[in-house]
Amino acid sequence: MATALFSGAAALAGDTSTAPQHVVSINLCTDQLAMMIAAPGQLSSITAMAQDPRASVMVDAAKAYPTNNGLAEEIYLLKPDLVLAGQFTARATVSMMRRLGVEVVEFSPARSLDDVAANMVKMGEALGREDVAQSMADDFTRRLAEIAPPTGPRPTAATYAANGYSTGAQSLSGEIIETAGFTTLASELGLPMGGFVPLEALIMADPDLVIFGADYPGTARAEEVLSHPALTQLTGGHMPMQDKDWICGLPSVLGAIERLRDERDTLEMPQ
C-alpha cells in the first residue's frame, strides 16, 4: 500500500519518514510541478512529453529523469509508492494503480491564476515538501500582485486555435490575457468560458490582437481555419504564444503576462 499523504504538522517538524520515496508522474503538468518541488531522488519517472521542447518549459531539467508513456503495466513495474496524474489523463492507468493498492493523487487543470498557486501547495502536500511548495506559491502570489493594473483602454485580444476555438476570461489563458490589460473577444461574444468562434465573427470583430499557437508537424482538418486567406483581412496585431507557456499553470505564466503586457504597450504606441 502506498504511503499516505504527508501531514502539514510533520512537514513543519522536518520529519520526512512518511514522504513517498518512489514517485512517478504520468501527466505533463504534474511532471513539471514535481520537478520543481520534489526532493533529490524522490521523483523516479516523468512522461516523455516533459522532454519535448514544444510542450514543456522544463526540457533541460527533464533530461535528468527516466521517462514513461503512462501505460499501466509500465508504471506498475516501476514500483511507485505514489503516482501523480492529471484529472483527465491515462484513466485506465489511474484505475489500475488504485486497484493494485498504489496511491494516486490527481490534479485538476489550472483554470485560474489562483489555481496555479493552489496546485503548487497540493503538490507539496503529496510529496511531503509543504515548506518548499508554500514558499514557491507565496513567491508566485507576490510576483503576481506586483504586476501593476493596466491603465487606459483595454484592447481586445483573441486566441484562435484548431476548430476556431477561442478562450474566454473564465479560463487560465483568458485570465492571463485580462491581467495583461486586454479584454478577451470570446467574452465579448458571450463565451466567458471560451468556445467556438466562427471565422466570420473573428473577421468582423477585427480584434486588436490575435494570438496564434505554434504550428506542429503534420496537418489536420481542424487546423485548416488557421491558414484561411480571410485572416489576411485582420488589421490588428498578431502574436505567437505556445501552449507550453500557459497551459500547465506553472510560474512561467508570469512571463506570458509580461510578454502580453509588452505587446499591449506596442499596440498603444503612436503609429
The reply to whether 156-266 shares the fold of 8-143 is yes
pLDDT tens readout for residues 195-227? 999 999 999 999 999 998 755 555 566 666 677
- Find where cell 483573441 sits: 158
The CATH number for 8-143, chosen from 3.50.30.50, 3.20.20.120, 3.40.50.1980, 2.40.160.20, is 3.40.50.1980
**Homologous superfamily of 156-266:** Nitrogenase molybdenum iron protein domain (3.40.50.1980)
Report the DSSP beta bridge partners of residue 195: 166
- pLDDT of amino acid 17: 62
**Distance in angstroms (rounded) separating the CA atoms of residues 39 and 25:** 14
Please provide the DSSP assignment of 120-141 as one string: HHHHHHHHT-HHHHHHHHHHHH
Average pLDDT over residues 38-67: 96
Give the number of other Cβ atoms within 10 Å of residue 4's Cβ: 10
- Provide the H-helix boundaries in 100-194: 113-127, 130-145, 172-179, 185-188
Query: How many residues can be counted in the chain?
Result: 271
Give residue 30's identity as a one-letter amino acid code: T
* C-alpha–C-alpha distance, residues 47 and 26, integer Å: 6
Has residue 119 got a pLDDT over 60? yes
The per-residue pLDDT for 232 is 82
Per-residue pLDDT of 18-44, as tens digits, reads 899 999 999 999 999 999 999 999 999
For the stretch 240-268, pLDDT in tens is: 887 888 889 999 999 999 999 999 988 86
Mean pLDDT over residues 137-158, rounded? Answer: 92
User: Residue 271 — very low, low, confident or very high, per pLDDT cuts 50/70/90?
Assistant: very low
Average pLDDT, the chain: 88
- pTM value is 0.85
Give the model's pLDDT for residue 218.
52
| Domain range summary for the chain, segments of one domain joined by + | 8-143, 156-266
pLDDT at 270: 46
